């Protein structure tokens, strides 16, 4: 008889520089360890643990990651379809090929200092249903190959525009050349692309300085546990 994990939904605060895959792998090991501790007499039996996340976060992003465990993994698509909210910051006056800090600066733009009002007027042009070109440094597959894998080889994957819904894009604070924002959007929206496109709209360049996912549907980051808190939870 194999040991099967109970279905569960976990809210995780993803650490900086961890991939979403790193988080699910870590949780899978924690859950297997907990299951074996609960049933020490079954230690030689097969342990069946399914773990999956509902919406990738880039390594340089932090915040809310929904992780489904056991039979709950069958419902991943329903969580992925929920609207998402983010806070973060944009740096104006430079661009990077990845649209974030994964790659080095490739161009500088002498931009005049802009006001909060000017930035918000420009950001409103990216609200509603828009066509967005994803970054070439993304996990989108093109002919079976991840775009970022091609980009890291110096190739130029052909990124096609797609429709996304941006419900809110507010610049909330300004300390030039860095602006802080709050965004509510549909699944599939690349915040890095919004930062890049906003820089172009303003006649210069910009890249994503930082990003934190704060909500997925009604699930809130304030309810999420850190990796350390999850370790403590599963070892209790």
61-94 CB burial, b ≥16 within 10 A, e <16: bbbbbbbbbbebeeebeebbebebbbbbbbbbbb
Cβ count near 177 (within 10 Å): 17
Classify the C-alpha dihedral 4-9-11-16 as positive or negative.
positive
Q: Are 122 and 202 in contact (CB under 8 A)?
A: yes
Q: Point out the residues that are catalytic.
A: 58
Mode of pairing for the β-strands spanning 162-175 and 84-92: unpaired
The helix/strand/coil state of 170 is strand
């Amino acid at each position: 008889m194999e040991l099967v994990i109970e279905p569960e939904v976990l809210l995780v605060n993803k650490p900086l520089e961890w991939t979403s895959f790193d988080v699910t792998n870590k949780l899978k090991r924690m859950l297997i360890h907990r299951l074996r501790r609960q049933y020490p007499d079954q230690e030689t039996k097969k342990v069946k643990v399914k773990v999956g996340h509902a919406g990738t976060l880039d390594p340089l992003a932090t915040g809310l990651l929904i992780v489904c465990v056991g039979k709950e993994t069958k419902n991943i698509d329903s969580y992925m379809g929920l609207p998402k909210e983010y806070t973060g910051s944009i740096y104006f006056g430079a661009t990077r090929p990845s649209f974030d800090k994964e790659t080095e600066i490739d161009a500088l733009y002498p931009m005049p200092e802009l006001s909060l009002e000017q930035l918000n007027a420009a950001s409103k042009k990216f609200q509603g249903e828009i066509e967005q070109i994803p970054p070439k440094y993304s996990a989108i597959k093109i002919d079976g190959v991840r775009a970022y894998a091609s980009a890291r080889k110096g190739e130029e994957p052909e990124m096609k525009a797609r429709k996304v819904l941006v419900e809110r894009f507010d610049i909330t604070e300004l300390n030039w050349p860095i602006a802080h924002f709050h965004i509510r959007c549909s699944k599939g929206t690349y915040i890095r692309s919004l930062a890049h496109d906003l820089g172009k709209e303003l006649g210069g360049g910009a890249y994503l300085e930082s990003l934190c996912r704060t909500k997925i549907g009604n699930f809130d980051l304030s309810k999420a546990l850190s990796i350390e808190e999850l370790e403590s939870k599963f070892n209790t």
